[in-house]
Structures are given as structure tokens and as C-alpha cells.
Amino acid sequence: MRLTAIRLVDIRGFAGEHVVPIDAGLTVLMGPNNVGKTTLLRAPFLGVPPSRAMGGIAGFARSAGGSCAVAVQLELSADEVPGLLGFTLARVDDILVPNGGRDVPLHHCGQFTNWKQAPRVELGMRWAGGSVERVLRLLGDPGAYVEITPGNVPTAVVGKRSGQARADHGWFDAAWQTLESGRLPAATFAYWEHNPVNDDWLQQPVTRRCLGTREDRLQEVLTFLRLKFPGEFTRIDDAVRRALPELNGIDFLDSGSSFAYRPGFVLPTRPRAPLARESVGAGVWSFLCIMAAARSAKATGARVLFLDEPHLHLHPGLERLLVEELVDPKKWDDEPLQIVMSTHSPTFVNAAAEQGTLHVLGWRDRAKGELEFKTLPAGAGIESVLGPFVRPSDVLYASAVVFVEGPSDVGALRMLARHVGAPPDVRFVPLREADAMKSELGRYFSVIAQARGPGIHTPAVLVLDADKKATYEAAWDKLERDRDPRKMSPLGVVFAGQDGNDLESCFCDARFLSAYFAGGGTSSSSSVRVIRKFLARIKETGDKASKGCTAIRALHAKLLGENDNDGTKLDDLEKLMAFYLKSPEAAHAATVRTRLEPLEQALKALRGV
């Protein structure tokens, strides 16, 4: 069994329907405070008796007296279907759905062809008319499902068509019993947060789980594991030893009574010195509690562990070790738990972007009336936008961002930003693919802004070579307004360079280059003719031979005897910028100063100037 998504309909700030995908490994929910992260984590537990401990599903409804729904979507194995749904896969042939004007067996419908090979279901509850209704859906391809509720005629939705399905309600008795008892969420899902206000809704019917950082609860759980699942207890001990080599693992501290022993840590001394909770840091204690929560969840049959802000009190190094302990399949006999967490930690955010799924939650607009979530692509997907050496947290947590076309521009632009007084913690992000800048950048900037919250200003600049202006603007003209970088305040767009050329062309002025090469030991009078000859080659074309960077590199080779290769392009640009910044008001720098003026103003705007 695997959790694939959580579906919310009019739950608190989530207006309308939202289907939040859950990764097979690590899913991270991030965003500003009070944007529904904990609501989303707790939603699957609304069916756990007594749900009134959380106010019941009615307490989660977006509006008083309104309807709402919560459901979990699951992938099942063939062996799990009878126990959960109450019928075997053979019975699926007897479920009839309308298709092309006639009723056909479910598996003959194109959207359900593979259902028997990979069963997908949705189990949930709907609040409407003052009562709770249990809902079961058999899920086909996106948008297709058969919905069965107790006492009602089944409904089939296939594409834009819907109609009555035919199925015997007696087949689903086990499903209704599972939903009514709350066994599914209670047994399959485990939850942990630092200080649960009321954990009644988490304890039934499974009580041997660590739910927070209470010492008495941890004592019960570790005792249970040591007696019933010694292998899991040993793995917690091993994890503590790996993460905290100054300690010699965990043990129980005897205080003279058989019922007054306490969980604690052991120092590697002789005789062994015990350390109770008050003798260690809050981060060490939290690490132990989270590991106990994970191992006890596994031992008691859970498949998914929900963690609310596990980063609290943890050192970044301990966070990285916690990620490894939770997601490394080898530490879980190749069957790790699914981990879903809400957190602001850059460590967990980067881990999700690299090897899991990262959802950024936030308000749809400044009115803060509706919530939404956006998903950052993982692995190669994020690298295609931000480049292989940029971590998502570098962008999501930056006070200001400068997007540039490539790594060779970063050094020179950082020097210019420092010169004009831009904030010191500006992040310079080279974008790897041109297509991302043409069609995807606007969407990713909106994710960045959402991660910080609508009340926090997120200044950013997109610096592009002027030779691509026509190409980019033609692509942006086809985009919707909310994805057009030119219309996404406070994102500023600057096309740097002479018209139709690149950033290096800003420095392609005969007076400036004569002074520049004279500083390298070349006679100004003898170099002017050569400089003008090469500058004449710079044209408004897409040909690399006509670019400013090509002319600059050729002049270095001709006048200074350097090798003419692309490997020194970055050095050329940084040296030119450094020379300009030594005396930007000098007469020989007048033309360069004029060309760089739009870029300087954009960088100044990052500090509100």
C-alpha cells in the first residue's frame, strides 16, 4: 500500500478541490506560517475516532454550515484489495459503467484497463447537510472514477461524462467497516509533532507510538520496542551512535524502582555515565524522539509518517543525518516509510527537491482568502531551470535574487552589485536552459514569492543578453499574464549589452579598451587600430563570431598573447568589470557607464534605492 495523494475540498483555507501528490519517499510542505501545512498533515486523520478531538471534519469546513471533504488516494497490491475493500479483483468484472451509450465491465473502459493490475482507490469522508458520509472511489486514469457511498446508487465519472454505475453494495461492507472504525488511517498513518495539544485522535487504536517529546511516552515506546521488536530498538541505538559519536548509544537509567526507569544516553566512559533528558540538548532529545516515532511506526504496521516541523532544535548537521536515517532504503530493509513533513529547514527543502517532492504552500493573493500549493520539480527537473550547482534553498530563502544567463556572468555582476550597494546576501542564480527563461521562469519566480509570503517583499532581477531580446519577448507575448516575467512585480527584466548583442559588448568601446589594454602593458597608440578592427566585427546577429565576448577574447589573444579559447571568458568579464569599477567616472569609461546604467539601476532597486 502506498499513499499517492491527499484530496481536500473546501477545507479551511483550501477553497475548492486540491489534490496534493505524495512522493513514494520524501514529501516536504513549506511556506510561511499559518498557510495550512499542519491542516494538510492532519487531514488524513479526520477519520480516526474520536475525531471530535480535532473538532471533527465539520470543524475543518471552510465555512460554517458548508460542505467539505477529505480523502486519501492509495495504490494497493492485489493481495490488499480483499481485506480493505471486501471483494476480490475478480468482482471488478461485475462493476458496470456507462460507456458509449451502454454499460460495460469496468476493465473494458479505457480509463480502467489496468485497474486490476494496479488497483488505485480513494477512501474519504464528506461533510454535507449536517452529517458525515463515507466515500469510496475506484480511481482510473486522471479524472475517471467510480464513486460508491452507503445506500446510494454508484456514480461513474469518465472524462466529461458521468452516469450511474451498477455494483452490489454488499461487496463493500469491509470498506465501510474500515472507514467507520478509522482503522485505515490509524493503523497505516503515524503522526509526530513536538508538543501535541491533544493526542487522543492519534492514539486509537494504536497506542505504542511516539507522538511527541514527552518523556513518559518515549519510555513506553522504547520499552515496547526493546521487548517486542529488539531489532528496531537496536537500530535507534545505532542511529544515535552514528549521529552523536560522543555518546555510546541509548539505555534506560535505573532510579531505584522497577517502574521509575528513564530513557537516556550513555557516555563512553567506565563505569558508564548515564545522561537523562535534562543533561542533553533539546536537539539531541528531539532526534531520539523522531527516530523512536519512525521505528515504532514501522513496527506497528504504519506505511506513512507525518512530521510537523521536525527541524526545531536540530543542528543543520543533525538534520542531514536525520534525512539519511529516514529515507535510506538500506536502513529499512528496502521498505522505508513514506515521509511527509512540514518544515522551513533548508536541509529538508533541498532533500525534497533533490530526491522527493517539494510543495510550496501560500496564499493565492494578498487578501489571504484562499490557499494554494505549487510544486517544485525534483532532481533533473530543478536542474534544468536553476542549474546543477544551485540548491533550491539558496533561492527560496534569499532576501533578493538575480537570475543570469550563465555562470560566467555571476562574478562580474556580483562586483557591480557590491559597487552600487545592493544587499550583501543577494543570490546570483545562473539559469541553465533558455527555454526555462522563455516559458518557465515566471512560474518559478511565483513559487519563490509564495514561499516567502505575500507580505514579504522579494525583489529580483532577470539579466539577459540583449541579443536574445526579440526571441524572449516573442515567447513571453504568448504567455498568460501570471507567467510573463515582464509583468511579475517585483521581478525586473534587464537586457544588458549593446542592442542585439551580449553583456560583454557593454565594454566594447575603443577608448575604454585602449585604456584597459594599456594597463596590461600594450601601447595605447599601437592598440587602437587593432581594437577598432575587431570591434567592427560586432554586429546584431546570432552568429557567435559577431558577439562582444568573441571580440574581447580575440583582443586578449592579439594584444596580450593569451590563448584564444572559451575557457577564459569568465576571467575576461571579471577583469573588465574590475577595471571599470576602479574609475567609473573617468573619461574613457563614459560610454561603458551609459551602457551599464540600466543594470546598475536594477541592482540598486534590490535595496530599495
Q: What pLDDT is recorded for position 522?
A: 57
Residue 292, pLDDT above cutoff 90: yes
Q: What pLDDT is recorded for position 298?
A: 94
Same domain, 367 and 399: no
What does the alpha-carbon distance between residue 341 and residue 190 come to, in Å, rounded to a whole number? 12
Confidence of residue 53 (pLDDT cuts 50, 70, 90): very low
pLDDT tens-digit series, residues 3-36? 999 999 999 889 999 999 999 999 999 988 888 8
What does the alpha-carbon distance between residue 24 and residue 332 come to, in Å, rounded to a whole number? 14
Percent of the chain with pLDDT over 70: 85
- Specify which residues 61 forms β-bridges with: 11
pLDDT tens-digit series, residues 482-512? 788 888 877 888 888 876 678 888 888 888 9
Find out whether the peptide bond into 490 is cis, omega within 30 degrees of 0: yes
Full DSSP string of 280-332: S-HHHHHHHHHHHHHHHHHHTT-SEEEEESTTTT--HHHHHHHHHHHH-GGGG
Same domain, 192 and 321: yes
Residue 533 located in a structural domain = yes
Residue 465 located in a structural domain = yes
Residue 126 falls in which region: left (phi positive, over 0), alpha (psi -120 to 50) or beta: beta
What does the alpha-carbon distance between residue 117 and residue 89 come to, in Å, rounded to a whole number? 9
Same domain, 58 and 155: yes
pLDDT tens-digit series, residues 131-159? 888 888 999 988 889 888 887 788 888 87
What is the residue-averaged pLDDT of the chain? 82
pLDDT tens-digit series, residues 156-188? 888 777 888 887 767 777 777 777 766 677 678
Which of 378, 409, 431 terminates a domain? The answer is: 378
Helix H, strand E, coil C: the string for 442-485 is: HHHHHHHHHHHCCCCCCCEEEEEEHHHHHHHHHHHCCCCHHHCH
Percent of the chain with pLDDT over 90: 25
Same domain, 100 and 177: yes
Residue 1 located in a structural domain = no
Same domain, 327 and 192: yes
Full DSSP string of 385-435: HH-TT--HHHHHT-SSEEEESSGGGHHHHHHHHHHHT--TTPEEEE---HH
Residue 13 located in a structural domain = no
Which of 300, 320, 348 terminates a domain? The answer is: 300
Same domain, 530 and 402: no
Q: Which residues contact 214 (CB under 8 A, 6 or more apart)?
A: none
Q: What pLDDT is recorded for position 543?
A: 63
Residue 14 located in a structural domain = no
Same domain, 251 and 369: no
Which domain CATH number covers 475? 3.40.50
Yes or no: say if 363 and 453 are a contact pair by the CB < 8 Å rule.
Answer: yes
Give, to the nearest 10 degrees, the angle between helix 282-299 and helix 316-327. 10
Unique residue bearing C-alpha cell 542531514: 320
Polymer length of the chain: 609
Domain hosting residue 318, numbered range: 23-45+182-206+302-378
What does the alpha-carbon distance between residue 202 and residue 46 come to, in Å, rounded to a whole number? 10
Q: What pLDDT is recorded for position 608?
A: 62
SS3 state at 105: strand
What does the alpha-carbon distance between residue 556 and residue 265 come to, in Å, rounded to a whole number? 64
Confidence of residue 609 (pLDDT cuts 50, 70, 90): very low
Same domain, 407 and 437: yes
Residue 115 located in a structural domain = yes
Residue 4 located in a structural domain = no
Q: Total domain count for the chain?
A: 5
Same domain, 55 and 142: yes
Same domain, 97 and 163: yes
Q: Which residue has the higher pLDDT, 249 or 560?
A: 249
Which domain CATH number covers 314? 3.40.50.300
Same domain, 231 and 258: yes
- Longest Cα separation, the chain: 98
pLDDT tens-digit series, residues 101-130? 788 888 788 888 888 888 999 988 888 877
Which of 328, 358, 378 terminates a domain? The answer is: 378
Residue 571 located in a structural domain = yes
What does the alpha-carbon distance between residue 555 and residue 517 come to, in Å, rounded to a whole number? 9
SS3 state at 58: helix
Give mean pLDDT, residues 43-68: 73
Q: What pLDDT is recorded for position 201?
A: 59
- Amino acid letter, residue 383: E
Q: What pLDDT is recorded for position 505?
A: 86
Judged by average pLDDT, the poorest of 258-267, 522-531, 544-553 is: 522-531
Residue 601, pLDDT above cutoff 80: yes
Find out whether the peptide bond into 271 is cis, omega within 30 degrees of 0: yes
Same domain, 392 and 368: no
Q: What pLDDT is recorded for position 297?
A: 94
pLDDT tens-digit series, residues 342-370? 998 989 998 888 888 999 888 877 777 88
What does the alpha-carbon distance between residue 356 and residue 442 come to, in Å, rounded to a whole number? 23
Q: What pLDDT is recorded for position 98?
A: 81
